[in-house]
Structure 1
Amino acid sequence: MNSVAHIPRAITLAEFLALPEEEPSLEFINGRIEAKGFPQKKHGVIEFKLTESLNRFAEPSYLGMAIPELRCTYAGYSIVPDVVFQLDAHIGTDEQGEIQNETFHPPDIHVEIISPDQTPRTAREKLTHSTSNGCALGWLIDPDKKWIDVYRPGQPPMSLALDGALEGEPVLPGYRLPVAEVFGWLKRRRPERPTTGADPV
């Protein structure tokens, strides 16, 4: 089990980055270390489906890439958002022409999903930091209480109604995902039984 008890409280960002990775991930937030919780099913489903939705829109035109649980280190923080969308220009390549492994740039879209054992406080702090340091768009999603807040630079968070939609501007113009569809992913789907036309016995 992940614990921060063995880590000195007075630690620099450079010292934090030298620590071995753990599961769940540790984050360096405003000079303190916090452990992410293990995601449960609702969290995991929204994380997976939202990543898939963003990539389905962006990848055909090489606009960028959505990646779940990507460590991003920038402006004194080192965090692991639930979903990160990076524009193509910010992905970077290494000497072999492959995707650059480490990320020292804020997300272009930063997504946090609340788990049952979490409060929104830390997620809000991370989103505010991101949108104050180069991130153009943030989404905070609560699967249990069915609400979504939108973060943009220099603006207070905006709550979306259930009949509203997530919109990708200015990062992904034209991307639109209804709030109802996001929470609809949580419905248990079962295959319909074929109709035979025979009378029941």
Structure 2
Amino acid sequence: MTAAKTPSLTLEAFLKLPETKPASEYIDGDIIQKPMPKARHSRLQGKLIQAINSVTEADQIAYAFPELRCTFGGRSIVPDIAVFLWQFIQLNENGEPLDNVLIAPNWTIEILSPEQSSNRVTGNILHCLTHGCQLGWLIDPDDRSIVVFQPQQQPELFYQDDQLPVLAGIESALTAKQVFSWLKM
């Protein structure tokens, strides 16, 4: 006989807690605080957001949000970058985005920190894909690789001059080499 795991806190109770810095995530009844971003992580995050929004925002194709809490499918996670196609961004009567996001991003991007569990981060990407996400990137600055996840496909590993897949409708020809070149200042 297997004992069922009892969550120490419900998702609803977790969402009522004050936000933490760095953010905490709710995964399978556990509260897990993300590691504090370091310089390389922040640099890649900022440059990727800029690269995505520079080709998507003006034409209202998509928008990349940093550290946006997304609650869906029994989890509340905070991807390093959550990209939403424009039609999925819920707006209030003033045309401003709603604060509470209750759907998976269309594209989730995670930048691995040395003290982070790659399996836990991969688990969040897979959770996103299970709940409607179309694309996930797991960026590893230490070995200069990007693992790309897409629904119903085997993950692919990208290095050097490999062109990275992006969401349909986004005009971008980023390569792994270009992404990691942003680390040089």
* Superposition TM-score tier, normalisation by shorter sequence: over 0.9
- Identify which of 67, 70, 77 aligns with 2:68: 70
Tell me the amino acid that sits aligned with residue 68 of structure 2: L
The count of residues paired between Structure 1 and Structure 2 equals 180
Tell me the amino acid that sits aligned with residue 149 of structure 1: V
Give the equivalent residue in structure 2 for 1:98. Answer: 96
Q: Give per-residue Cα distances to partners, 1:25-51, cap 9 Å, x unaligned.
A: 110112221000000011000000000
C-alpha separation between the residues in 2 aligned to 1:59 and 1:81? 19
- 1:165 counterpart SS class: coil
Report percent identity of matched pairs: 37
Tell me the amino acid that sits aligned with residue 166 of structure 1: L
Give the equivalent residue in structure 2 for 1:186. Answer: 183
1:89-168 matched pairs, under 5 angstroms: 89-168=87-166
Of the structure 1 ranges 38-47 and 55-64, higher mean CA displacement relative to structure 2 is found in 55-64
Q: Give per-residue Cα distances to partners, 1:111-147, cap 9 Å, x unaligned.
A: 0000121121111000011011100000000111211
Larger gyration radius, structure 1 or structure 2: 1
Q: Contact conserved, 1:132 with 1:154, CA < 8 A, in 2?
A: no
- Identify which of 36, 58, 61 aligns with 1:60: 58
Q: Give per-residue Cα distances to partners, 1:27-83, cap 9 Å, x unaligned.
A: 011222100000001100000000000000101211121111000001111000000
Query: What is the Cα deviation at residue 178 of structure 1?
Result: 1.1
Query: What is the Cα deviation at residue 163 of structure 1?
Result: 1.6
Runs of 4+ in 1 over 3 A off after TM superposition: none
Going from structure 1 to structure 2, the CA distance change for 1:75 and 1:20 (only over 3 Å counts) comes to same
Query: What is the Cα deviation at residue 167 of structure 1?
Result: 2.1
Q: Which runs of 5+ in 2 are unaligned?
A: 1-6
Query: What is the Cα deviation at residue 161 of structure 1?
Result: 2.6
C-alpha separation between the residues in 1 aligned to 2:44 and 2:10? 33
